[in-house]
Amino acid sequence: MLLSVIGILLPVALLLALGAVLRHIRFFDEAFASKLLRLVFYTALPCMLANSISKAGSLGGVGAATAVLCGTAVAVCVLAALLARPLGIKRSSIPSFCQTAFRSNSAYVGVPVLTLATAGTALEEETMRVAMLTLAAYSVLCNVGAVLLLAGCESQANNGAGGQQTLKRRIIHIANEIATNPLIFGSVTGLILLAMRRGYGITLPTPITKTMSLLGAMATPGALLALGASLTAERLKASLRPASIAVVFKLIICPLLGVAAAAAFNLPPAHRLAVLVYLACPCSTSSYIMDKAMGGDADLSGAAVVLSTALCTASIAAVLFGTAMP
């Protein structure tokens, strides 16, 4: 099982390294990497989220698992916000630090890990059903939460630069960011397509779903190549300390709180496994993409993605071996 987890994570690391090599040999520059990230942010990731969520199974019986997953993420975010300044995180970097601490690379690491871990076992069908349904709610929560964090930061910056902003204008600004965020749009679209399919048997035409699938498949390699090209050694070194603290929250505090919450809710084995694997996953590449798009501390979140990807084998393995498997 450990080798299987490494086999899932190794391509992620290799794509990051390839992006760095391509930047080093000047195959493409940072301007191209930024445009690639915009393409991923506005097309590939929304299609991936909508396509993945729309394929979930029956809708019932996942309330407790969803509450544990989303509740743990909120708790970690709040804890990170409370401890950020005492831990030496710059005030301007706190929104990026918080969203990096609780957002998991669930779709690209969590789902493949769960697929391998449960293949051919009695838990397979129920685990994957729970995994896809909780991913839907978790994606909406993470993306709305990230927009609230980063849009609030933007509003504060605007206050300092251009005068006092009214509360009404700030609320309108944040609401507009949520309404127009492509990742939130993709998650909500996926939920609507799921409800249409499960409730009324209505599905999109095959050419559209295939197009969405092809675009979604571009999200992971595109984001990782751009991230690898954007993060120089100097930027990694400058962001190493805050990124390392964020990784501690993501890979240690997050799954530990999840274990306690899962025990409190007495989750069944399949539900517990899906939730804890998600919580033990590395930092989401979406954190870096959203920081880039919304003016957050992309160096911090990018460094955290790299570090957590390199170190998450231990946290995922601990969950797999610590969770009762048939």
Q: How far is 246 from 308, CA to CA, in rounded Å?
A: 9
Other beta carbons less than 10 A from residue 218's beta carbon: 17
Q: Tell me, yes or no, whether 4 lies in a domain.
A: no
7 within a domain of the structure (yes/no): no
* Domain presence at residue 268: yes
How do residues 230-282 score in pLDDT, each as one tens digit?
A: 877 787 888 999 999 999 999 999 999 999 999 999 999 999 999 999 999 99
pTM exceeds 0.75 for this model: yes
The reported pLDDT for the residue numbered 74 is 96
Choose from 60-74, 166-180, 183-197 the range with maximum mean pLDDT: 60-74
Question: What mean pLDDT is predicted for residues 290-309?
Answer: 90
What pLDDT does 163 receive?
45
| Residue range 99-150, pLDDT digits in tens | 999 999 887 788 888 888 888 888 888 888 888 888 878 988 998 898 888 8
pLDDT of residue 58: 66
Domain that holds residue 249: 15-20+28-118+127-322
What's the whole-number average pLDDT of the chain? 86
pLDDT at 161: 46
The pLDDT, as a whole number, for residue 241 is: 95
d(CA 274, CA 131): 5
Report if residue 138 sits inside a domain. Answer: yes
Separation of CA 163 from chain center: 34
Share of the chain above pLDDT 90, in %: 38
Express each pLDDT in 19-52 by its tens digit: 989 988 989 887 888 899 889 889 998 898 888 7
Least confident of 105-119, 213-227, 297-311: 105-119
Rounded to whole angstroms, the Cα distance separating 311 from 213 reads 30
Q: What is the CATH number of the domain that holds 313?
A: 1.20.1530.20
Residue 287 within any structural domain of the chain: yes
pLDDT the model gives residue 250 = 97
Q: Which two tokens stand for residue 214?
A: 């092809």
Q: Give the per-residue pLDDT at 109.
A: 84
Tell me whether residue 8 is in a domain: no
159 has a pLDDT exceeding 60: no
CA angle 256, 284, 107 (to 5 degrees): 90
Residue 1 lies in a domain: no
- How many domains does the chain fold into? 1
Q: Work out the percent of the chain whose per-residue pLDDT is above 70.
A: 93
Q: What sign does the CA torsion over 15, 20, 25, 27 have?
A: positive
Average pLDDT over residues 162-178: 70
- Locate 16 and state its tokens: 């990051």
